[in-house]
Structure 1
């Protein structure tokens, strides 16, 4: 190996979960090393617009409560949430926000000096706090990055983790990584936290940045962990549509715009959400995305419109990020309806872990979008994701410190380390195939065709570059997602099967769980985890 480094806790990823974990671990006296595939600010957190959903006892709507937030989350999750996980994560929200503010995060305030709150789809009250109007993620990322830097926590930027390393007993021992010059090195650590974000780059159009290539899920699978609910990919209802169709990372039109009164209309000016759901334009995202896709198909268009003209001249002040993106595309949202379409946005499933981040592999923890804690179920409630990263990131650091302190985790030798050779597929082919067959509307014929295409195009390559590592991750997770989507023969949450349009609680009110066997084949491990009733 060309180089090596070591720590008590290795944090993979620099989003809200990873940075929160790094800060909390340092407070607990651990030696922490953070590794980022790109720069500190390149992940999903900085792109989050809407805000953080939290019920703060001293500043809340009179009719709102923690229990109401729990119920809204369970309803959005369509029967697959863990009631225990939901309650524990949401109950930790208020304290997490105070820690974040103490770290320097600045949120928007109202005329009375209290934190300003808005409402988003699926929420029954105004409980979403925000920063910079529609730049909450950027402010959270800024505050956490500065706190990490000021705290002297080392961050290896532009280092790509290739594989997790394990000792003879199967416990985590560190990771193999590539530096910016693609030179391999070893990161020694008895505890590794995966906080590497999502898998939006599986699709041709996404709100995710280019770094969101499913690396965390792939690393965990190859290390022996289980994954759950990968079929539940949330498509954001409203990204900015431009001529030629959406492709690559698309500017997001935050759900808070609808929370402030904007409505969806089709190309003929007819309301899209009228009669679709009691909450109409503030319905859960799976409902809105499906309605948009259906109406666009009915009208022969590739998009619908978001009419925010009723917000008026305050639009630019309330939503500066959205306003700038629209103006760059030649649209004045104060006067013109905004053309919008749906795009891959958030993975509700991921590496199976508890609310303390522990996985089935000793020494391996997961937090944030890469994890499946049971909070989101079949469909994430808007603005619960940043909250989960704050709460579970801190809890995972505390769990690692406890496991290290009691001797459950010890340093292990790794022997000779050789970069693996794994199957990859041309990225454009993979993204086109997944968008065509594993998007909002799915069926067995299409999912089977996608599986055949990817299997037929796969070639084995040594993982000597970041591009090769990403392509291997995308292929493995695409295969797992397709297997899970074929397994779930029903429609639930953001998983919509055109050949099985109904929800089947008798057979499918449970998670789909997969792992890799000793030969590297994906296997459906059990009947899954039965979730609490909503």
Structure 2
């Protein structure tokens, strides 16, 4: 067995940035797919939130984060992240990120919803994610201390003597391989592929939640799922995104009759927090009135130049956004929950760190502020790198014993579709006790099937979904991205972060299954 090294699971912004910040320490990065094709970071449109303009400040940025997070943001984390933002933007510039600048070379940030200042450092309107990732990928490929292993899907953690010492990952040939490490970082993204309508790539299936929870890690804030209000509703999976920056530029939301419905719902109308806008759009669709993002007046003929990615998605469906409103619908976009971490990115399991959307750091609370996700990825990518580098300078490598690899998993396409249908129908934009109970029972049945078939992929999907649904069932109030029809108000007594284990979620689902069976 080779000497343990540093293992990063995930080829998005958090994973690659962490790997670069660890150089020249040897790092292996596992990516579920080619890194230049399919990470959520690559598709991010808005940019990096950072107080870089005159008159703005980290304190104002933190205050906006607290307001959007609906009462459960960790204030110390929000302030420290905001204060590190400028330095991390400078890091990205150093890695080649081509952020927009004016004629004098100054960064030219844009406005997004719920920000009190123009602080979204972006690239050509809606191209930040792709531009940042292409710059980082090029740098990673030139960095000799980083070994990039693409098309390896992590399925389970390797735990020995209570410590995480690596992962089992399945290659393109279907065989599972053990990757051992002194330090393991999970940066595998979010949970979008658990929902039928999402803006996330297929690899974002909640595997980090399941793997970590199965090993005993603490899961935090799992009920808080953010639905982007303006996914472009043209029947594509994943759904392309109409960036929030469009609304920052003055685009408005209208129904089929041309009425601006957000004016009656919030003082900030289209620039209200995402959860409120998503519910507003959902209500119009549910009532049969349709929902459209109209940028014909605010952007008009300049649309293709200012927002080329959105324009391309619309034109591919026969919609000219410079002259026509864009049909939109809420789609799963970001998970505020994840593996609980401290302010250094350490999970509750020794040897395991988490970064990016796989983690729950306390920054986002119940509702992520626009463009704080890319910021969190680089801030915690940097913190984890520093923490691991400090630890690698002392202590001996753990003594490892070879672990048996899991058996090949069978095809689970039909069951995966069932998970997506259950989550969208019952654990989506609007929730209630009846629907959540139905979801938990159905997911437990699918989980039992995964165990019978020894199918790790389906097991990961169902366990991640169970953690989200159980947390949503237990929070009997509405807050941020979690809205209960049966408890539509926020309860001050519940203004705290949540925590759940996999055993707790399974026991809840089993109890509900037995109760429903007994009532038949």
Common topology (TM > 0.5): yes
Q: 1:49 aligns with which of 21, 42, 45?
A: 45
Q: Helix, strand or coil for the counterpart of 1:105?
A: coil
Question: Which secondary structure does the structure 2 equivalent of 1:73 belong to?
Answer: helix
Partner of 1:532: none
- Residues 215 and 157 of structure 1, relative CA distance in 2, 3 Å threshold: same
Residues 332-411 of structure 1 correspond to what in structure 2 (within 5 A)?
332-407=320-395, 410-411=397-398
Distance 1:356 1:463, change over 3 A: farther
Query: Deviation at 1:421?
Result: 9.1
Question: Is the contact between residue 187 and residue 358 of structure 2 (CA under 8 Å) also seen in structure 1?
Answer: yes
Query: CA offsets, 1:101-156, max 9 Å, x none?
Result: 11111111224432221111111111101113211000111111111111121111
In 1, the alpha carbon distance for the partners of 2:389 and 2:452 equals 35
Are 1:195 and 2:192 counterparts? no
Q: What's the secondary structure of 2:23's corresponding residue?
A: helix
- 1:511 aligns to what? 497
Query: How do 1:244-393 residues align onto structure 2 when only pairs under 5 Å count?
Result: 246=235, 248-298=237-287, 300-301=288-289, 303-310=290-297, 311-393=299-381
How far did residue 288 of structure 1 move?
0.4
Q: Deviation string for 1:201-246 (max 9, x for gaps)?
A: 110000001111111111111221110111100000001112xxx4
Q: Any unmatched runs of 5+ in structure 2?
A: 510-520
Task: Show CA shifts across 1:284-338 (max 9, x none).
Answer: 100100111112223x14x301110011221111100001111111111111111
Distance in structure 1 (CA, Å) of the matches to 2:69 and 2:464: 22
Report the counterpart of residue 433 of structure 1 in structure 2. 422
Q: How many residues align?
A: 503
2:140 maps to what in 1? 148
Q: Which residue of 1 aligns with 2:512?
A: none
SS at match of 2:353: strand
Say which SS state the counterpart of residue 145 (structure 1) adopts: helix
Select the structure that is richer in helix: 2
1:505-526 superposed Cα distances (whole Å, 9 cap, x missing partner): 12x1112211234x994689xx
Tell me if structure 1 keeps the 8 A contact 2:158–2:403.
no
Pair 1:221 & 2:213 matched: yes
Offset of residue 90 of structure 1: 1.4
SS at match of 2:424: helix
Rounded to whole Å, the distance in 2 between the matches of 1:24 and 1:294 is: 45
Q: What RMSD in Å do the two structures reach over aligned CA positions?
A: 2.1
Q: Distance in 2 between matches of 1:285 and 1:5?
A: 47
CA distance in 2, matches of 1:142, 1:387: 17
CA distance in 2, matches of 1:248, 1:5: 41
2:152 match? 159
Indicate the SS of the match to 1:118.
coil
Call closer, same or farther: CA 1:5–1:183 in 2, change over 3 Å.
Answer: farther
Are the aligned partners of 1:487 and 1:512 in contact in 2 as well (CA < 8 Å)?
Answer: no
**1:239 pairs with one of 231, 238, 253:** 231
* Partners of 1:220 and 1:463 in 2: CA distance: 21
TM-score (norm 2): 0.93
**Alpha-carbon separation, structure 1, partners of 2:31 and 2:453:** 18
Please list every run of 5 or more consecutive structure 1 residues that lacks an aligned counterpart in the other structure. Answer: 525-534
Equivalent position SS for 1:496: coil
Q: TM-score, normalised by structure 1?
A: 0.90
Residues 520 and 345 of structure 1: is their aligned pair in 2 closer, same or farther, counting only changes over 3 Å?
Answer: closer
* Contact 2:155–2:460 under 8 Å retained in 1: no
Counterpart secondary structure, 1:427: helix
Question: Secondary structure at 2:331's aligned position in 1?
Answer: strand
Residues in 2 aligned to 1:469 and 1:320: alpha-carbon distance in whole angstroms: 39
